[in-house]
Structure formats: C-alpha cells, structure tokens
Amino acid sequence: MFISSAFAQTAPAAASGGDMQSTLMSMLPLLLMFAVLYFVMIRPQMKKQKEHRAMIDALTKGDEVVTAGGFVGKVSKLGDAYVGIELATGVEVQMQRSAVIQVLPKGTMK
C-alpha cells in the first residue's frame, strides 16, 4: 500500500519536461527589468562620466571654468592631478582636476 502511493507521487515529477520552461518564464521579468535598468540608468551615467573625463583632459590655460564648490575662475596652471585656478586678480587656488564641472565660453568672466 505505501509503495504504490509513493511510486504514484514520484512518477509525474520525473516525466515533467515543462518545468524548465516555467523556470525560464519566471526569470523573464527579472531579465527584462535588468535590461531596462541598464539602458535607463547605467549606460547614461557611463556616457556622462566619459564626457566629463574628456572635458577634464582637454583643459588648457586660460579656460574659464566652474568648480564643484561653485567657484568661477580661469585656469592658470595645469598639472597631472591638480589645476591652478585664478578666482580674482592675485587670488589663486589649487584643486583637483575632477572638481572642475563645467568649462564656460570665453569671455564669460568680466
């Protein structure tokens, strides 16, 4: 009596071929969510970082810039990791290149 009922319970599980398909279908929403997350958040952020890095590498003496702290000044010295910015006549600060967030058009500061 116990053997026949145990055999009857294991038989359908061994013969099921649709189990793999249901597993894939249950993972499909998760994969779609990851794809949307990549194209909406991760990819644009990587593009923005690449553009910022290109802007920092292209800095030259005399460029008018805005820093992360809100200072506006002219680039007076360039180094590998640091940049000297003249905020006013005779007032120069040294800061990291990554602190420069925007290069202004020439003639903005007057």
User: Which of these, 74, 108, 106, lies nearest to 91 by C-alpha position?
Assistant: 74
Domains of the chain: 59-104 (2.30.30)
- For the whole prediction, is pTM greater than 0.85? no
* d(C-alpha 101, C-alpha 40), whole Å: 23
Mapped to the 3 state alphabet, what secondary structure does 18-76 carry? Answer: CHHHHHHHHHHHHHHHHHHHHHHHHHHHHHHHHHHHHHHHCCCCCCEEEECCCCEEEEE
Q: Assess contact for 84 and 92: CB atoms under 8 A.
A: yes
Q: What is the pLDDT along the chain (110 residues), one digit of tens a residue?
A: 566 555 555 555 544 556 888 888 889 999 999 999 999 999 999 999 999 999 999 999 999 999 999 999 999 999 999 999 999 999 999 999 999 999 999 888 87
Work out the burial of residue 65: count CB atoms within 10 Å of its CB; fewer than 13 is exposed, 13-18 middle, 19 or more buried: buried
